[in-house]
Amino acid sequence: MPESRNWAFPATLQPGADEAGFDLASALDSVVLLRAEIPQDAFTAPILGTERAGNGVVIRDDGLIVTIGYLITEAESIWLTTNRGAVVQGHALAYDQGTGLGLVLPLGSLGVRPLQRASASGVDVNADVIIIGHGGRPHSLKAKVIAKREFAGYWEYVLDEALFTAPAHPQWGGAALVGQDGLLLGIGSLLVQESTGGKTVDGNMFVPIGLLAPILDELLTRGRAAGPPRPWLGIYTAEMDGHLVIGGLAPGGPAERAGVQLGDLILEIGGEPVTGLAAMFRRIWSTGAAGSVVTLTLSRRGASSKVQLRSADRSDFLKKPRLH
């Protein structure tokens, strides 16, 4: 993800103060640069790297920031930079694996006003929106919502309804999706390709901010959402030609320990056939809390077999934030 500020969207793609029905300058300043350093021996370091950079959005008067969780997972240190050049250290408060959202508390004053949150359920497909990245108008993009649909990620992640926008913002991680009323609609998660109008376009996937409200208090007080943690198998699965294929295994995870191999096809979960990533993950989660036994029916080189896995709590594999 590009980090340099020495670039800008063409002026015609940038939002203009005269076009916005809200205080655009204040909204732009509510998005800060977030840099995180992760230990070399962190569980997520081989996949996500040890130096991560993206955006964070101030959502409360006390400076509380919401971002995308992968930026701050296992972070050893976090630094926040405003558009006006203020640099403040941050502390990772929580990472919610269900939504993918993360919370950061600045350890000093950022001097910016928060963005007010809205429910993404009121956003229509084809609605005009603004994607705000750190760096003001040059790094902000006029876009449209091109789809609202289920999203399943190969890392055991499902959103019932994600927001998809185009054109694509190159600094999507933690970016703010803002409606024409100036309310925060979503947090940037991925660069994706979407089919729209008979052609494939590059776009972004956003996590709806409405998912935060029901779990915010628990995240602030407990560091995680209420309820037992979901069972996690440590599998990275892809859909290929109508099959669910194991494309990766988390080192030391339940699946690797049970002898699951790369290239195995998943046919059944608990004796029930599954098709599609979302259905597979929901079936796994329905077996109980982390620690429950999950039975997989696999196909390997044309021969099928059953394997039982003792699921785990993924957070047990992650380094916890240091207390300040």
Give, for 278, the enclosing helix (H) or strand (E): helix 277-285
- pLDDT of residue 322 exceeding 70, the answer is no
> CA-CA distance, 127 to 146, in Å (whole number)?
8
Query: What DSSP designation does 228 have?
Result: P
Copy the structure tokens of residue 233.
């198998």
Q: What percent of the chain lies above the pLDDT cut of 70?
A: 97
Domain of residue 137, CATH code = 2.40.10.120
pLDDT at site 2: 42
- Do 91 and 45 lie in one domain? The reply is yes
pLDDT at site 278: 97
Give, for 24, the enclosing helix (H) or strand (E): helix 24-29
Mean pLDDT over the full length of the chain: 94
pLDDT at site 323: 53
- Do 83 and 204 lie in one domain? The reply is yes
pLDDT at site 197: 77
3 state SS of 140: strand
pLDDT at site 76: 95
Q: Does residue 206 sit within a domain? A: yes
pLDDT at site 117: 96
User: Phi/psi at 28 (nearest 5 deg)?
Assistant: -60, -40
- Do 62 and 136 lie in one domain? The reply is yes
- Do 279 and 132 lie in one domain? The reply is no
- Do 176 and 301 lie in one domain? The reply is no
> Tokens 């207390």 label which residue?
323
- Residues 55-60, mean pLDDT to the nearest whole number: 98
User: Phi/psi at 34 (nearest 5 deg)?
Assistant: -120, 125
Closest CA to 75 of 174, 156, 7, 151: 174
Q: Which of 171, 205, 227 is the last residue of a domain?
A: 227
Copy the structure tokens of residue 39.
């230990």
Domain of residue 290, CATH code = 2.30.42.10
Chain segment 170-228, per-residue pLDDT in tens: 999 999 999 999 999 999 999 999 887 788 999 999 999 999 999 999 999 998 999 99
In the chain, the amino acid numbered 136 is: G
Q: Would you say how long the chain is, in residues?
A: 324
Distances (CA, A) of 199 to 169, 194, 222, 256: 18, 8, 45, 39
pTM over 0.75: yes
User: 113 or 195, which is more confident?
Assistant: 113
- pLDDT of residue 110 exceeding 60, the answer is yes
- Residues 45-70, mean pLDDT to the nearest whole number: 97
Instruction: Give the count of beta carbons closer than 10 Å to the beta carbon of residue 115.
Output: 26
pLDDT at site 324: 47
Chain segment 4-49, per-residue pLDDT in tens: 568 999 999 999 988 888 999 999 999 999 999 999 999 999 999 9
pLDDT at site 320: 81
pLDDT at site 1: 44
- Residues 126-155, mean pLDDT to the nearest whole number: 97
Chain segment 169-186, per-residue pLDDT in tens: 999 999 999 999 999 999
- Do 9 and 151 lie in one domain? The reply is yes
- pLDDT of residue 120 exceeding 80, the answer is no
Closest CA to 258 of 234, 284, 226: 234
- Do 119 and 171 lie in one domain? The reply is yes
- pLDDT of residue 240 exceeding 70, the answer is yes
- Residues 226-246, mean pLDDT to the nearest whole number: 95
- Do 50 and 76 lie in one domain? The reply is yes
Q: Which of 227, 249, 273 is the last residue of a domain?
A: 227
> CA-CA distance, 22 to 178, in Å (whole number)?
11
Name the residue range of residue 239's domain: 235-317
With beta carbons less than 8 A apart as the criterion, state whether 179 and 118 touch: yes
- Do 265 and 165 lie in one domain? The reply is no
- Do 276 and 166 lie in one domain? The reply is no
